[in-house]
Amino acid sequence: MAHDVTSVNVMTGKITKRAYTQEDKDSIDATQAEVKKNFDALDYKTKRMSEYPTIEECVHAILDDDLEALQAKRTAVKEKYKKS
C-alpha cells in the first residue's frame, strides 16, 4: 500500500508530493529504532551532555543574574538521566 507524502521547500515554497511504500516506512522505522537503541545504550553522562545548557547559555545566565533558572535546567536533566 502506497502513502502520499507532501514536502514543502521552505526556501522556494515549492510543494512536492510523492508516494512511499510500506517497505519505505519499514526501513524508516528500523532506522529510527536503531538510532534509539544506540542513544539508549549511551551512559548517563553522555546523555546529560547532549541536553545541558551550552556554555553560551551559562555565560548569559551569569551575566543576567539568572543562575536559579540555569540550575533548574541542569537539575531537570539530572533527573531525566539519573546515575545508574
Percent of the chain with pLDDT strictly greater than 90: 56
pLDDT confidence of residue 52? 94
- For residues 1 and 40, the model is more confident at 40
User: What predicted TM-score, i.e. pTM, was given to this entire model?
Assistant: 0.50
**Residue pointed to by grid coordinates 532506522:** 31
- For residues 43 and 32, the model is more confident at 32
pLDDT confidence of residue 71? 95
b (16+ CB within 10 A) / e for 23-51: eeeeeeeeeeeeeeeeeeeeeeeeebeee
Q: What is the pLDDT averaged over residues 57-71?
A: 94
- For residues 10 and 40, the model is more confident at 10
